[in-house]
Amino acid sequence: MKQHSVYNPATNEIVKTVDFTTEEEANKKIEKAHEAFLSWRELDAHDRSARLLKWYQLIDEHKEELAELITLENGKPYKEALGEVAYANSYIQWYEAEAKRVYGSTIPANNPNKKIITDKFPVGVVGAITPWNFPAAMIARKMAPALAAGCTIVCKPALETPLTTIRMVELAHEAGIPEDAIQYVILSGRDAGRIFTESPIVQKITFTGSTPVGKSLIKASADTVKNVTMELGGLAPVIVHKDADLELAVNQTIATKFRNSGQTCISANRIFVHQDIEEEYARLLTEKVHALKVGNGLEEDVDMGPLINEQAVEKVIDHIEDAIENGGETSQPIDQLKIGGNFLKPVVIRNANLDMKVMHEETFGPIAAIMTYDDLDEIIEVANDTEYGLAAYFFTNDYRTGFNIYNKLDYGVIGWNDGAPSAAHAPFGGFKESGYGREGGIEGIEPYLETKYLSIGNI
Ligand code: NAP
């Protein structure tokens, strides 16, 4: 049996070794998921909901264990990992309730002898592929609505972080969700993508990850016309206007920028600050950023863990070097940022400009690059001038300015004086090449449902 080792990014030691799934086993799991679908969809919604509620309770009871697993395989600080478990579980709680609210409708007919009814049905077997940056949350956002809708699901977690998924699936089984209704496979993304997209049984692909991989999955899904949901990359702008509350703007920038060492799809990548307040904003931000304690996430009081691996460190260093070459000023010398292993100190870069990579490419690391602006409308255009459209943030205390910015930003998730907009009860997803479909909110169950329409005649 081929084995896969999961490494701790803080120590580069093996956390655990797991068996790879063979192609034959993966296809068998998909077949079993289909058999399970035929009975899971027949359960009444209240019964499905009760099992999801039990799963929510079990995850809550095991939150410390799950948080430790997340820290071990992903590296984020333990307190942040505990927050992720609660956040992931909030999706299970939300969709446990939504399972009972999948409503149909009646439509006035154009003939007194007719009656028209619409109803919602689960799409079928779902193949899910997720990244390593939120090992619990990214998978919960898919598993919970899929199961609530009456679908069954086969999940492929990132190879860096499969252990959290494995434990969550075990807890789901313990909660009474049938073993074949929720399963995982340990496969490379390339193999899982091929097996899911080529399978005539899999009706839906739901993917969270990078835009290039998302595009390849959309193309591969075309042959069997699969229903797809895509949660892809971002390049979030932050606009700090001259009337903003600076203390609030700085604290919220840190929340969006340095959580998970900057490795989130809604991380601020480009910070645009009005020229009148840039000096004070940069001073405050630098002071707080330099106070962040970097270390092994299992140690007390650590604010920022390691990056996921060596390649991630190299990519961030490349963005910093490129910024310096293009006239950027770093808040600490670049040769002092690498502090061994996958650890990197956070840094503020002033004097950023549009020639820099950090203004065009998703960095996925702890750099806060600040560019000044004078004209608000011009900077909104700059903020929109990207193929991405996931999250954007702005800070202003004037409601006219705020609604003006909100209306003009081409983004799916917008934080106004808020650096942490994501929530289970709200629809999360992007415009443009950041994907399509939404996760969370009443919208998040729709991608797992088909509408069926019944026309009754001659009544
Ligand atoms: P990634 O390289 O696209 O990997 C994500 C997942 O896709 C992993 O499970 C990976 O498997 C798999 N994969 C890789 N190549 C594949 C292929 N050819 N076909 C099918 N699956 C494949 O992205 P990442 O670096 O892990 O994650 C970071 C990206 O995710 C960023 O762009 C970030 O913005 C995005 N993201 C978006 C959201 C959102 O909600 N919009 C949330 C979080 C992250 P392996 O195990 O083989 O790597």
**pLDDT recorded at residue 178:** 98
Confidence category of residue 175, pLDDT binned at 50, 70, 90:
very high
Q: Best mutation site among 5, 73, 129 for ligand 1, i.e. most ligand atoms within 8 A of its Cβ? A: 129
Say what the pLDDT of residue 1 is: 83
Residues flanking ligand 1, CB < 6 Å: 129-133, 138, 158-159, 188-190, 192-193, 208-210, 213, 216-217, 231-234, 265, 362, 390, 430, 435
| Annotated catalytic residue within 80, 98, 160, 231 | 231
Give the bridge partners for 237, in sequence order: 270
- Determine the distance from the C-alpha atom of residue 97 to the mean position of all C-alpha atoms in its chain, rounded to a whole number: 22
Helix (H, G, I), strand (E, B) or coil at 205: strand
Task: Region of 262 please: left (phi>0), alpha (psi -120 to 50) or beta.
Answer: left
- Beta strand extents in 147-261 (DSSP E only): 152-156, 182-184, 202-208, 227-231, 236-240
Of 73, 98, 160, 265, the catalytic one is: 265
Ligand 1 atom having least distance to the Cα of 220: 19
**Residues for the chain: how many in total?**
459
At residue 267, does pLDDT exceed 90?
Answer: yes
pLDDT in tens, 297-355: 999 999 999 999 999 999 999 999 999 999 999 999 999 999 999 999 999 999 999 99
pLDDT digits (tens, 9 = 90+) for 342-360: 999 999 999 999 999 999 9
pLDDT tens for residues 85-144? Answer: 999 999 999 999 999 999 999 999 999 999 999 999 999 999 999 999 999 999 999 999
Please count the CA atoms within 13 angstroms of the CA of 237 that sit on its side-chain side: 30
Would you call 80 a catalytic residue per the annotation?
no
For 359, which DSSP code?
G
What's the pLDDT at 397?
98
Q: Can 155 be counted among the known catalytic residues?
A: no
Local structure of residue 292 (DSSP, 8 states): P
How confident is the model at residue 387, as a pLDDT?
A: 98
* E strand or H helix that includes residue 40: helix 23-40
Round to whole Å and give the CA distance between 8 and 72.
Answer: 5
